[in-house]
Structure 1
Amino acid sequence: MSYIDGFVIAVPDANREQFIEHARTLDPIFLEIGAIRVVECWGDDVPDGTLTDFRRAVQAKQGESVVFSWVEWPDKATRDAGMAKLMEDPRMPAPSDMPFDGKRMIFGGFTPVVSLPG
């Protein structure tokens, strides 16, 4: 069964194209180290909640959009090995070179329990 890494970040709207270029540079490395699929989604309909919501979760400020992304791996062992390789890869940008504040990133690994089709 596959394994999913999920990410939610706040990206300044002014950095949208810089973020897309960052993803186009970094995401192929995920595929190179074993990922099956990488999806980057720019927030389009991200409503404010009454108790919690995506914007609050990443402390999105005025002029920032929420980005929801995931990396699909064939299994957790491939993910663990791949992420170790990624952290050592010289192509991995420094936190100061990211087009967003990585301190407000939410991420985690997930085991799928339902997947349709399939």
Structure 2
Amino acid sequence: MANYIDGFVLPVPRDQLQRYGEVAEKVAKIWKEYGALEYFEYISDDAAMEGTRSFTEVVNSKEDEAVIFGWVVFTSREARDLANEKVAADPRMTDLVSPLVSTARPIFDAKKMVYGGFRSLV
């Protein structure tokens, strides 16, 4: 199956993982509403391998942060592009994400997030 995925990696403060997860569950439903086939987010458990750069290095995570690795599956890049437009315009996303990026206690820092769209290879 030749799907298209958006992949992302980002650090989240460990003491905010539950809150982040609650938001991610709601965000996943919105993505699926707009065409995502699947939506996954995982917490790092073993993020280092000798001789390679780790996800923790790439996102410059701190000791008190966990690294989240996620991906969203679409039928095609066109379906992904359309979903991105609709999700960005959905006011529910603003309501969900705004508290996460609050300057008082940011949970999510987009400058530390790594993101990309990927087409199928194997």
- Amino acid aligned to 1:62: E
Q: Which residue of the partner structure matches residue 111 of structure 1?
A: 119
Q: Structure 1 residue 51: deviation in Å?
A: 5.5
- Structure 1 unmatched runs, 5+: none
Partners of 1:7 and 1:70 within 8 A in 2: yes
The count of aligned residue pairs is: 114
Name whichever structure is richer in helix by fraction.
2
Q: Which residue of the partner structure matches residue 92 of structure 2?
A: 91
In 1, Cα distance between the equivalents of 2:65 and 2:48?
Answer: 13
Q: Which residue of the partner structure matches residue 101 of structure 1?
A: 109
TM-score with structure 2 setting the length: 0.86
Partners of 1:48 and 1:55 within 8 A in 2: no
Aligned Cα RMSD in Å?
A: 1.6
Q: Which residue of the partner structure matches residue 66 of structure 2?
A: 65
Q: Structure 1 residue 53: deviation in Å?
A: 1.4
- Amino acid aligned to 1:97: P
TM-score with structure 1 setting the length: 0.89
Q: Structure 1 residue 48: deviation in Å?
A: 6.3
Higher mean displacement: 39-48 or 3-12:
39-48
In 1, Cα distance between the equivalents of 2:20 and 2:94?
Answer: 12
